[in-house]
Amino acid sequence: MDGKIVFETEEGTETFYVLEQTKLNGNIYLLVADSEEEDGECLILKDISGEGDRDSVYVPVEDDTELEAVSRIFEELLEDVEIDS
């Protein structure tokens, strides 16, 4: 999956590059990196948008159990990637 997400913050904008997407227990998760280079920092984001929301709303996954489960899925999808949670 190719693409990027731009976040608007009080300090300006921040761009993340989408590496992969998956769905678990009805939730959509994105694996994103802050750089297109191989050594970029990665985050796992969860889509918390409501059905009527016009824009998607993403938050970083912080729950350790949820993060570990989603990390394993992304590692299987991207066989050459190891994710440190």
Which tens digit of pLDDT belongs to each residue from 23-51?
A: 999 999 999 998 887 777 889 999 998 87
What's the whole-number average pLDDT of the chain? 85
pTM: 0.81
Which tens digits make up the pLDDT trace of 62-73? 999 999 999 999
Residues above pLDDT 70, as percent of the chain: 91
Q: Which two tokens stand for residue 63?
A: 């729950």
pLDDT at 81 over 60: no
Spatial CB neighbours of 58, under 8 Å, sequence gap ≥ 6: 5, 7, 30, 45, 46, 47, 48
Where along the chain do its domains lie? 4-77
Whether 47 and 56 have beta carbons less than 8 Å apart is answered as yes
Q: Which residue would you say has higher pLDDT here, 59 or 9?
A: 59
